Chains A and B, each alone.
Chain A
Amino acid sequence: MPFNKKYIRNFCVIAHIDHGKSTICDRILENTGAVEKRNLSAQMLDDMELEQERGITIKLNAVTVTFKSKDGNEYVFNLIDTPGHVDFTYEVSRSLAACEGAVLVVDATQGVQAQTLANVYLAVDNDLMIIPVINKIDLPSADIPLAKKEIESKIGLSTNDVVCVSGKTGVGIDEMLEKVVELVPPPSGDSEAPLEALIFDSYYDSYRGVVVLVRVKNGRVKVGDKIRLMQSGKTYTVTEVGIRTPKELSTGVLECGEVGYLTATIKDIKDVFPGETVTLENKPAKEPLPGYRKIMPMVYCGLYPVDSQKYGDLKDALEKLTLNDASLVYEPESSKALGFGFRAGFLGLLHMDVIQERLEREYNLNLILTAPSVKYRVNLTNGDVLTIDNPSEMPEPSKISSIEEPYVLASIMTPKDYVGSIMQLCQDKRGIYQDLIYFDDTRETLKYLIPLSEIIFNFFDRLKSVSRGYASLDYTLDTFRPSDLAKMDIYLNGDPIDALSTVVYRKSAYSRGLAIVSKLKEIIPKQQFEVPLQAAINGKVIARSDIKSVRKDVLAKCYGGDISRKKKLLEKQKEGKKRMKAIGSVEVPQEAFMALLSIDEGNEK
């Protein structure tokens, strides 16, 4: 088949979590005949084990398939998958930028949900043609008229072209694919113009270096081309070009409008951030493609092995993970309480969570993560400026003239009804009002400058709760601004535990200190002696809670049938103890170090 971009459709599938995106993607792969049914491991696009378990897609992926339409022509479909969490909004927007259309999945039993909106907003931002699809119509509780009504009223899309499908039974999938042919525009662009290829994902391969997924916007790229990355300025020679079906199929060239992969002996994944533009060294594009943002870690925490012998293993594991994860950064650090470990930077808390789980599961490590922190800028009285991402490095108060913290510019898109309560939330979180932008009759976008540290602690969850889940959040790092901050230390049994130190806003220090020591009291099991827990600023105790000593743990009844059961319970408990860290004479569970995150700030006022 001669190449003709008129037969190409580049699209993605967007949905609220659990609305059946992955099932629909699988059906698309089946109905296009690209992958035979027996080869589908439950859901093909979510290929990491962890993704399958959490049901969320973290890493993007793209697949090229062919579809024989009723109009008699064969079309090339490039299906691009997207992750669905605020930590990865930027990546989503880059993969959307590689498409012309989006299939929007709405669950017939649940209607339009918050995340649906958030993704629709991103799709609208990228000028995509949106095809609404109502899924799960096979379920008895499906309410198609209501789902349609919500698509019209909440999203503002016409339902003339809505398709009703069941990912489970396959009903309607072909009709949906015909709509893709009919409604999604073929890619535009000029094959003879200078190369502009958008990188929307990449992964590391130990034989070929970094494999880059691209969408060619203009021009073409082939093996042997000398390419330049316009943001990093680095140049490479292309060694392999092809498409993924999902198996890699080397084609030697990617034409304008196509989606595929290329390799060019790129050694470091940090050289190919999503949003980067690939062009030709000898015939460069004038400007890089729009929308590029440098990905920067937002949140830092300490990573320590529970068993200090495993430091080397942790180091190896982090090295391996960073091969595939451009946004993960780390460097060695040490803690008096926890020994040797690393300070690592993440895009957000979900990213941190995912990394922790991968380290524990794939590398069989028992880890302690310290409370997450942002980067602070400390102005010293002698005129020096320190940047710290670990609260325990905070200098003596007498040496500090001021502390600045990073603010983000948060854009919160919300149905009008929730504007009031979201503004209240932003005020509570020390937000500075910037703007309220009319979007359409039902929606508005609020803009606030908010300290990043406030965003980390519970902001997203509270935003979801005050907006019944409908508000969406995107944020970009803004400037550092001075704040009235102080380092709060936690004393366990009279000793300061550096790994539990945090930087707090002074006005909420008392309530936060109390919340922390109370939470720790719940988490740290009783010891044989009473253990005082104190929160202190500059040596002055502001909150205290005591863990009483344990008096009784013996099993009351232990007769014939109880012996095996009790033995097994104790063995399990013994395993649990191995996951605790002995600090002085106190055994502290891993969760204690994350206690800060689970504090319900609603109680602070």
Chain B
Amino acid sequence: MAESLYVHIPFCAHICGYCDFTKVIYQEEWAFSYVDRLIEQLDGLGINKPLKTVYVGGGTPTSLPSCLLKKVLAKLSTYLDKSDYEFTIEANPENLTEEKLLIMRECGVNRLSIGVESSHLKFLKLMGRGHNFEEAKEKVALAKKCGFTNITCDLIYGLPTETLEDVKQDVVALLSLDVPHLSTYCLSVNPGTSWHNQGYKEMDDEDAANQYDLILNEFRKAGYKRYEVSNFSKPGFESRHNLTYWHDEEYYAAGLGASGYLSGERFTFTKNLLAYLKGDFEGERETLSEKDLKEEFFLTNLRLEEGFSLENYKERFGSSFLSDYKEQLDKLKSDGLLVFEGDRVRCTDKGILLLDRVLLSLFK
């Protein structure tokens, strides 16, 4: 039974050129009726057991006015297992206010993800972000003042024209925020985004790998542990919600374009706002075959520093990983991409960056 819930708030004050999440420019009348539909949808999910993790993402959840934010968060707080839970919300520095922070605290939000993205004004501007680094820093301090201890900040690297030196400065700036969790994402230029249409190219993989390695080393030196490809934390501050995805476990979902995974079926609700506002939530559904299940198991679990346990694989699929993939494993081991340690199999540092290659050889 799923113990996690993802909730999507699609509104943004403005649209970033590289973003390929489901999003629309904030409009008040949409937002009001959206929140009503969202609550109806939540009521219809049949959540009948307290949840361990709830994650509110976007879009920009903090683009909602305080009254709507409160309405959504108060509703969500009723699903929590009060004895043990993680309740995360994403926030943008530009519309994160003390009032909203206090509403979050009041509703039981105990983890805050702040989109800092860069310490360089020119890159923030290029990305279309509405803040500068000083502002981000102030908002982190404000969040701490309001009682948040579990804070994570995002960093984007691999931006057009970005140099290793630029990244180095970002790392120093990010570490100065002194938060227990950091995420760092290489820019990808996906079809359908404005940057893609404008012909922006992704950074050459060698340069991107050098930037990644710099970040990895500096974060490790500063006491953060990489637990997933792009995620770093101080001990005990791993994102429990996101680990649901990477452990390939099931979760509920609600909101425009939100994806969920229940009873062996992956689904994505409609991405059409007007349909959603009419209460027409249905989008795409995919029932997973045995082949899909295995592929997704690898695709998620191998992103983790600790990989997966052979026992877990056997429980899920009723066979032995080592014999199912005998042919492929020798090569993956000798190429230095996978290692076996006791009951566990995981990617090496080299393998984690070449995960697509690893997965392609495990896909049949």
Contact = CB atoms under 8 A, between A and B. Distances in A.
Contact of B356 (A548, A559, A563, A570): A570
A574 interface: yes
A536 to B, nearest CB: 27
Interface in B196-245: 205-206, 208-210, 212, 229-230, 242, 245
Interface string A554-586: 111111110110110011011001000000000
B188 A566 contact: no
A552 B295 contact: no
A36 interface: no
Interface in B16-47: 21
A528 B356 CA distance: 12
Interface string B247-267: 000010100011111000010
Given A557-B230, A570-B356, A526 B205 contact: yes
A551 B261 contact: no
A574 B266 CA distance: 22
A553 interface: yes
Given A559-B242, A560-B251, A567 B260 contact: no
Given A554-B354, A577-B360, A561 B209 contact: no
B363 A554 contact: no
Interface stretch (B58-66, B164-172, B296-304, B313-321): B296-304
Contacts of B353: 551-554
Among A555, A557, A561, A566, max chain B CB count under 10 A is at: A561
A553 B299 contact: no
Given A526-B205, A552-B205, A577-B360, A563 B188 contact: no
Interface string B336-364: 00000000000000001111110110010
Nearest to A558: B303
B208 A552 contact: yes
A548 B206 CA distance: 9
Contacts of A567: 292, 295-296, 299
A556 B187 CA distance: 8
Interface in A6-62: none
B354 A528 contact: yes
B212 to A, nearest CB: 7
Contacts of B246: 558
B188 A560 contact: no
B357 A550 contact: yes
A566 B357 contact: no
B228 to A, nearest CB: 8
A542 B354 CA distance: 34
A567 B288 CA distance: 11
Dominant SS among interface residues on chain A: loop
B335 interface: yes
A556 B245 CA distance: 14
Given A561-B257, A567-B292, A570-B295, A554 B352 contact: yes
Interface in A69-126: none
Contact of B6 (A553, A560, A573): A560
Contacts, number: 101
Contacts of B357: 528, 550, 553
Nearest to A577: B360
Nearest to B260: A560
A563 B360 contact: no
Given A556-B229, A558-B229, A564-B286, A570 B360 contact: yes
A559 B6 CA distance: 10
B206 A564 contact: no
B302 to A, nearest CB: 10
A549 to B, nearest CB: 8
A552 B186 CA distance: 10
Size category of the B interface is 35 or more
Contacts of A558: 229, 245-246, 299-300, 303
B325 interface: no
Contacts of A556: 185-188, 229-230
Contacts of A554: 229, 303, 352-356
Given A553-B355, A553-B356, A570 B363 contact: yes
B268 interface: yes
Contacts of B6: 560
Contact of B363 (A551, A555, A574): A574
A560 B241 CA distance: 10
Nearest to B356: A553
A238 to B, nearest CB: 58
Nearest to A569: B356
Given A550-B357, A564-B266, A567-B295, A555 B188 contact: yes
B266 A555 contact: no
A556 B355 CA distance: 11
A534 B357 CA distance: 26
B125 to A, nearest CB: 21
A551 B206 contact: yes
Contact of B258 (A528, A561, A574): A561
A88 B109 CA distance: 74
A558 B258 CA distance: 14
B62 to A, nearest CB: 19
A584 to B, nearest CB: 15
Contacts of A526: 205
Contact of A555 (B210, B245, B253, B356): B356
A556 B259 CA distance: 18
Contacts of A559: 57, 242, 245
Contacts of B185: 556-557
Contact of B354 (A552, A564, A566, A571): A552
Given A558-B300, A563-B299, A567-B295, A573 B212 contact: no
Nearest to B291: A571
Contacts of B292: 567
Contacts of A574: 360, 363
Nearest to B337: A528
Nearest to A551: B209
A571 B363 contact: yes
Contacts of B57: 559
A575 B272 CA distance: 31
B268 A561 contact: yes
Given A552-B205, A556-B188, A573 B296 contact: no
Contacts of B229: 554-556, 558
Contacts of A570: 295, 299, 356, 359-360, 363
B300 A563 contact: yes
A552 B209 contact: yes
A550 B354 contact: yes
A332 B6 CA distance: 61
A27 to B, nearest CB: 40
Interface string B1-27: 000001000000000000001000000
A560 B212 contact: no
A285 to B, nearest CB: 65
A555 B355 contact: yes
Nearest to A561: B259
B189 to A, nearest CB: 11
Contacts of B208: 551-552
B296 A563 contact: yes
A528 B363 contact: no
Contacts of A560: 6, 245, 251, 253, 258-261
A557 B257 CA distance: 17
Given A528-B357, A559-B245, A560-B260, 9 more contacts: A552-B212, A552-B354, A553-B354, A554-B229, A556-B185, A559-B57, A560-B245, A560-B253, A567-B295
29 contacts: A526-B205, A528-B335, A528-B354, A528-B357, A548-B206, A550-B205, A551-B205, A551-B206, A551-B209, A552-B353, A552-B354, A553-B355, A553-B357, A554-B356, A556-B186, A557-B230, A558-B245, A558-B303, A559-B245, A560-B253, A560-B261, A561-B259, A561-B268, A563-B266, A563-B300, A564-B266, A564-B286, A570-B299, A574-B363
5 cross-chain pairs, A with B, having the tightest CB-CB distances, nearest first: A551-B209, A561-B259, A553-B356, A554-B355, A552-B209
Interface of A: 526, 528, 548, 550-561, 563-564, 566-567, 570-571, 573-574, 577
